[in-house]
């Protein structure tokens, strides 16, 4: 049994879009597909491609429309 602390750090690293990345859905999808292929293999990554496409569009939309850092979340207002 391999414990999470025994896994090399680079295998756990996920590069997510940031407020200054301006990542396109295509770039995010490519990243997600590469990670899925490494983790689950080619067949499984192709099976979940539609889900990853949806996720990449949503991640791009959110990452390119972040609120100002000084904006409080709505539940605090």
Around Cβ 60, how many Cβ atoms within 10 Å?
20
Contact call for residues 63 and 23 (beta carbons, < 8 A): yes
Q: Can you tell me the mean pLDDT for 55-76?
A: 83
What total of structural domains would you count in the chain? 1
CA dihedral 52, 16, 41, 4 (to 10 degrees): -130
Q: Is residue 31 part of a domain?
A: yes
The tokens describing 69, both together, are 């850092």
Q: Is residue 55 part of a domain?
A: yes
Residue numbers of the domain that contains 34: 22-62
Q: Can you tell me the mean pLDDT for 23-49?
A: 94
Report pLDDT for 9. 47
Q: Is residue 43 part of a domain?
A: yes
Share of the chain above pLDDT 90, in %: 45
CA–CA gap between residue 43 and residue 66 (Å, rounded): 34
Q: Is residue 49 part of a domain?
A: yes
Q: Is residue 17 part of a domain?
A: no
Q: Is residue 26 part of a domain?
A: yes
Q: Is residue 42 part of a domain?
A: yes
Among positive and negative, which fits the CA dihedral 5, 2, 8, 12? negative
Q: Is residue 14 part of a domain?
A: no
């Amino acid at each position: 049994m391999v414990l999470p602390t025994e896994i090399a750090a680079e295998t756990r690293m996920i590069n997510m879009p940031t407020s200054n990345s301006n990542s396109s859905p295509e770039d995010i999808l490519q990243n997600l597909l590469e990670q899925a292929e490494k983790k689950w293999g080619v067949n499984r990554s192709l099976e979940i491609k539609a889900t990853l496409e949806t996720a990449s569009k949503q991640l791009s939309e959110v990452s390119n429309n972040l609120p100002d850092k000084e904006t409080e979340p709505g539940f605090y207002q």
